[in-house]
Amino acid sequence: MSVLSFLGGIHPSDKKELSKDKAIEIAPVPKKVIVPLVQHIGAPAQAIVSVGQEVKTGELIANAGGFVSASVHAPISGIITALTETRHPIGRMVPAIVIEGNGEDTRASAETCEDYSALSADVLKSKVMAAGLVGMGGATFPTHVKLSPPKEKNIDTLIINGVECEPYLTSDYRLMLERPEDILAGTRILMKILGINSATIGIENNKPDAIAAMKKAIGSDSSLSVAGLKVKYPQGAEKMLIKAVAGREVPPRALPMDVGVVVQNVGTAIAVYEAISCGKPLIERVVTITGEGIRQPKNIMARIGTPLSDLLDMCGGISAEPVKIICGGPMMGFAQTTTDIVMNKGMSGIVVLPAKCTEASGDFGPCIRCGRCIKVCPMRLMPSQLGVLAEKGFYEDAKKYGLHDCFECGSCTYVCPSKRPIVQFVKLAKSLTKP
């Protein structure tokens, strides 16, 4: 098998052994959910329900707030008890809908489809949009937008992302082991929507059983293939994956569609299949609850809006105090100041780390110009210079060094001998400037 990769990157300990052998468990239907209306990149969804209204599982409760947006559906059946706000994992408050469950999980009627090949690409795309699908690898870009490139963009390559290079996380890995046929069914639907005849599933070579499972499911279908990728972080980032699999480099400020490529996560492929075949909107997803600070690491299929406390209880609770709770993976995730958050469409993992596994001191030193961050940067930037300029407040100067080309993978911070929070400096500078 060929070993494909990209320049730069790092090799952090992956810690996947904590949860990789744990089959996906179905979480009990929560008694109450708080459903954020911001679970995607783009405009917030707009609530179409009122307090006191009864809703069924899968019923539309918020319309997309624009083309680059995603609709939201009720994860459980019950009564709308509040139109309020909830804390987003990035820290800000966002609008939300509270549903008190009735214990019945009554499903809204759904349009099923046994033969998607009989449907046109436009009809398939409209069903994907109606289901409120977003990228489930963490970026949460509305799926229908990715599937609607401008006419001048000639898409000829579809890559299904099964890399999951973030340490600790294993939700995608379990999906490839347990539901390979559904991933391929969703991939074929995506191929039809895009009007292309082939697709490649990219998987790192440290997941040989996942590679074997996907190859077995593909069988003799020559339109689908598996690409074995070098084990290196951030191999799963879109631009790195495109470079490794298709040999194409996405220019600065450009999108994958600018080089004829669309990338979708394996979880998104399953959601596409379910949306078309079962008429099922995106109301649940698999999340990895793991880390040395949790008693029983697990991979859980949970409803959107489930409180974090419910998920932690399912895993036996926290095993050590104090802990750091990270939403997402430890490289690109967000450390939480409270457990007052809920499950959303882009939440692929919750990592719970005891204090002994984290940096006890927030002190950092000056840049010593060692160049390690430059060597590992997958975007070939100068993180050291970006960090210094951002630290001093020279944000416009930082833009000249490709500030907005950084996708905040954290490789620079990981290797810095001075423990400089380079990626945090970059985040601040990006938030205060326009591309």
Regarding whether 273 and 394 lie in a shared domain, the answer is no
Q: Which residue from 1, 3, 8 is spatially nearest to 233, judged by alpha carbons? A: 8
Residue 224 domain-assigned? yes
Helix (H) or strand (E) holding 214: helix 208-218
At 104, the pLDDT band (50, 70, 90 cuts) reads: very high
Regarding whether 381 and 268 lie in a shared domain, the answer is no
Q: Which residue from 50, 58, 47 is spatially nearest to 79, judged by alpha carbons? A: 50
Residue 69 domain-assigned? no
Whether the pLDDT of residue 238 is over 60: the answer is yes
Mean per-residue pLDDT of the chain:
94
| Full domain range(s) for residue 418 | 372-431
pLDDT per residue over 333-369, tens digit each?
999 988 899 999 999 999 999 977 665 456 899 999 9
DSSP-derived pairing of the beta strands 261-265 and 157-161: parallel
Residue 271 domain-assigned? yes
Regarding whether 409 and 273 lie in a shared domain, the answer is no
Regarding whether 390 and 262 lie in a shared domain, the answer is no
Show which of 277, 310, 330 is a domain's final residue.
277
298: phi then psi, degrees, rounded to nearest 5 = -150, 165
Identify the pLDDT of residue 295.
96
Is the model more confident about 435 or about 160?
160
User: What pTM value is reported for the model?
Assistant: 0.94
At 317, the pLDDT band (50, 70, 90 cuts) reads: very high
pLDDT per residue over 123-141, tens digit each?
999 999 999 999 998 889 9
Residue 149 domain-assigned? yes
Q: Which residues of 373-384 are buried (b: 16+ CB within 10 A; e: fewer)?
A: bbebbbbebbbb
- pLDDT over 90 percentage in the chain: 88
Domain count, the chain: 2
Regarding whether 272 and 142 lie in a shared domain, the answer is yes
Show which of 256, 277, 298 is a domain's final residue.
277
Regarding whether 382 and 266 lie in a shared domain, the answer is no
Identify the pLDDT of residue 1.
41
Residue 331 domain-assigned? no
Order across the sheet with 261-265: list the strands. Answer: 224-229, 199-204, 157-161, 261-265
Regarding whether 377 and 265 lie in a shared domain, the answer is no
Q: Which CATH number does the domain housing residue 212 bear?
A: 3.40.50.11540
**CA 176 to CA 153: how far, in whole Å?**
30
Show which of 221, 247, 277 is a domain's final residue.
277
Whether the pLDDT of residue 2 is over 80: the answer is no
**CA 146 to CA 261: how far, in whole Å?**
10
Regarding whether 261 and 135 lie in a shared domain, the answer is yes
Whether the pLDDT of residue 3 is over 90: the answer is no
